[in-house]
């Protein structure tokens, strides 16, 4: 059995799912509102001879008919940033307000960090953390090119992270886009399935759970935590959230994303999960011609 076959019982159209996983991804960029609004960014690309197709669910997402948008001057000047479409979901779901204190727990290479800075109008405090020192250069470079001046970069283990020295007691909002087995990236990473499977997912789920717990504990009462992965594995998605719902002061809340999706699971492989996990969303490659993704929104103190 190959790595994806175990998901046949939970995917609405398994044949379409498998076919989509074998196609290359569309080329997509995000307009960076810190430097240019989506209309201006799209016009600049079209002036370069690049055809742009807008996305109705998010006006900042632009499909382009080039696989090298990084060679255009709008990219060089920070008007756009290459970002896979479903990767833009969690920041939109977190939806921070200008002036908020926000923590991006696993931030490198910075696509979601810089999107959060854009949503903040580059006003507030955005702590962008990653425990991989080698990836911080990309995070810093992207923040600088895109003009995200509200970003403070840190290099800590997210499981033991603190905001000491930054003048805040708790965060208003936290994005926990955690390390995962990355099955949902199969359309751009041909080797994404080489080391995946139930055991790999169970092994990394312990780390994911610890990061999510830390995110919850560093968020003020009434604040928001968004948990996301780019994997299909329930062990890393619903299983992780179900575990923290048992003993953390947090509840899943509804959110809207105008993309086709499937609800979170309440049962998998003989296990049952909290019924509120239907409020989470699964995005499969065949539903919107994207990569695979999982996203859940939690309110602290609920």
Active site residues: 230
- Positions at the binding site: 106-112, 130, 157, 177
Residue numbers in the known binding site for S-adenosyl-L-methionine are: 106-112, 130, 157, 177
Q: Which two tokens stand for residue 87?
A: 């990767």
The answer to whether the beta carbons of residues 160 and 214 sit under 8 Å apart is: yes
């Amino acid at each position: 059995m190959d790595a994806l076959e175990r998901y046949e019982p939970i995917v609405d159209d398994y044949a379409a799912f498998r076919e989509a996983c074998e196609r290359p991804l569309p080329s997509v960029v995000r307009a960076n509102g810190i430097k240019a609004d989506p209309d201006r960014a799209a016009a600049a690309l079209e002036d370069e001879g690049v055809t742009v197709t807008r996305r109705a669910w998010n006006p900042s997402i632009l499909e382009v008919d080039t696989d090298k948008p990084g060679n255009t001057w709008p990219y060089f000047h920070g008007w756009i940033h290459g970002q896979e479409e479903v990767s833009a979901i969690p920041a939109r779901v977190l939806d921070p307000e200008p002036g908020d204190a926000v923590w991006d727990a696993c931030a490198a290479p910075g696509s979601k960090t810089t999107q959060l800075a854009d949503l903040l109008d580059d006003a507030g405090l955005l702590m962008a953390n990653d425990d991989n020192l080698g990836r911080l250069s990309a995070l810093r470079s992207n923040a600088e090119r895109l003009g995200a001046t509200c970003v403070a970069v840190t290099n800590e283990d997210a499981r033991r992270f603190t905001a000491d020295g930054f003048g805040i007691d708790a965060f208003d909002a936290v994005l926990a886009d955690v390390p995962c087995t990355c099955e949902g990236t199969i359309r751009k990473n041909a080797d994404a399935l080489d080391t995946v499977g139930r055991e790999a997912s169970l092994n990394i789920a312990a780390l994911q759970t610890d990061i999510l717990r830390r995110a919850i504990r560093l968020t003020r009462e009434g604040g928001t935590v968004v948990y996301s992965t780019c994997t299909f594995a329930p062990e890393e998605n619903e299983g992780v959230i179900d575990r923290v719902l048992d003993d953390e002061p947090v509840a899943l809340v509804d959110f809207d994303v105008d993309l086709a999706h499937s609800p979170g699971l309440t049962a998998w492989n003989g296990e049952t999960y909290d019924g509120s996990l239907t409020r989470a969303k699964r995005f499969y490659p065949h539903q919107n011609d994207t990569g695979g993704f999982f996203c859940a929104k939690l309110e602290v103190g609920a």
